[in-house]
Amino acid sequence: MTNALPVELDPAVIEQLGRELDEIYDSTIADLGERDERYIRRLIRTQRSLALGSRVVMLAGASLRKRGVFGSKVGVRGNRAGTALLGLGTAGLGLAKVLENMEIGHNVMHGQWDWMKDPEINSTVWEWDTVCSADHWKHGHNIVHHTWTNVIGMDRDIGYEIMRTTSATPWNPVYLAQPIYNTLLMLLFEWGVGVHEVDFEKLAGGTTEEKAEQVELFQGFFRKAGRQLAKDYVLWPSLAGPGFVDVAAADAVANLIRNIWSYMIIFCGHFPDGVHLFGKEVVEDETRAGWYIRQLLGSANIAGGPRFHVLAGNLSHQIEHHLFPDMPSSRYQQVAPRVRALCVRYGLPYNSAPLRRQFGTTTRKIWRYALPGGKDTVSEAPALRAA
């Protein structure tokens, strides 16, 4: 851990950069209005209609497969038509879950739409369609991760505490299986996120108070996970009658689609080549401008078109999201060129590349750190601290 900032910046210059980023944020927030409200309300209506319509199509497909056309004996045509409808409904529900998880749930719970004063579209009441409790996620993500982004020993999202993604983590033979359990994490991503807030070390060997706190977190997770399991794998499949198994399996595939996609987008925003890690000394007396630079260096964007960005929850603009986490995500495409221009002017890297590159280098890093050694991009930069 020897390299500092990629360029030498005087503390006064860093503070000037901070003021310019403040101006981007302030001017954008001041411009929020009816157009933005229409966007999020229309998106929520679209997502909910897609989810409900897809479930109805799934039920129809499952019914057709079991009962045939107009109640006649199931034949080849009935099976084919039913299977096609079941597949169409599954794809639609998977897309609906992606939209709800990424562009709606994640961003609403960041407080991006609290300015509307809507009693429903609000970070304090929103509960998303996943096994992770909203309250647990808001603490671990909004408070811990976004405050201590990529600070070794403070940000629990570095490797999600199960993977070695930095040489600062001592190697252990257990990491040889890292490519395997990384794949399992991708397939079961909502479950990994759901238990992430639980500190298993404290649960096993902490004080009585610490153990009680972790048990309470675990109980909260089980309550939320139980409701999700009941909805996806009991209530909706029950409506299909003889098609129970078909609908339950389709729900599982829809959740799998959401899990894989959210894993890819989130990992590609945090772990690809060029993303910096930081020692704890960086945050000592850290200024707001220093925090900004840490977000710039600790995040990565994914290049793509407008539809891709919406499906990614605009977390394809991970740099802008980390700079302005409570700015409506629909504005990230607008401010990204201004942020990039600032990086060019101040000589700072702006890590942006297509999905194939970001995912490729992320996967390579996970495989590499399964073995001993490895070399990090770690900033110990004293320049991030106040002069």
Average pLDDT over residues 284-307: 94
Q: Distance between CA 374 and CA 358 in Å, rounded?
A: 18
**pLDDT for residue 72 is more than 70:** no
Q: At what angle do helices 355-368 and 178-187 cross, to 10 degrees?
A: 140
Q: Measured between alpha carbons, how far is 263 from 258 in angstroms, rounded to an integer? A: 8
**187-226 confidence digits (pLDDT tens):** 999 999 999 998 888 888 889 898 999 999 999 999 999 9
pLDDT tens figures, 107-152: 999 999 999 999 999 999 999 999 999 999 999 999 999 999 999 9
* pLDDT band for position 65 (cuts 50, 70, 90): confident
Enumerate the domain spans of the chain.
1-32+131-387, 34-128
Confidence of residue 377 (pLDDT cuts 50, 70, 90): low
d(CA 102, CA 312): 6
Residues in the chain, how many? 387
DSSP string, 290-303: HHHHHHHHT--EEE
- Mean pLDDT check: name the lowest of 167-171, 233-237, 381-385: 381-385
- Say which residue the tokens 């404290």 belong to: 202
**Once rounded to an integer, what is the mean pLDDT over residues 147-175?**
93
* Res 383: pLDDT: 44
Residue 116's pLDDT is: 98
Q: What number is the average pLDDT over the span 351-376?
A: 94
Cα–Cα distances (Å) from 45 to 53, 132, 193, 261, in that order, read 12, 23, 26, 22
The two most distant CA atoms of the chain are separated, in Å, by 81
* Mean pLDDT of the residues in the chain: 92
Give Cα 190 to chain centroid, integer Å. Answer: 10
Q: What is the pLDDT of residue 1?
A: 35
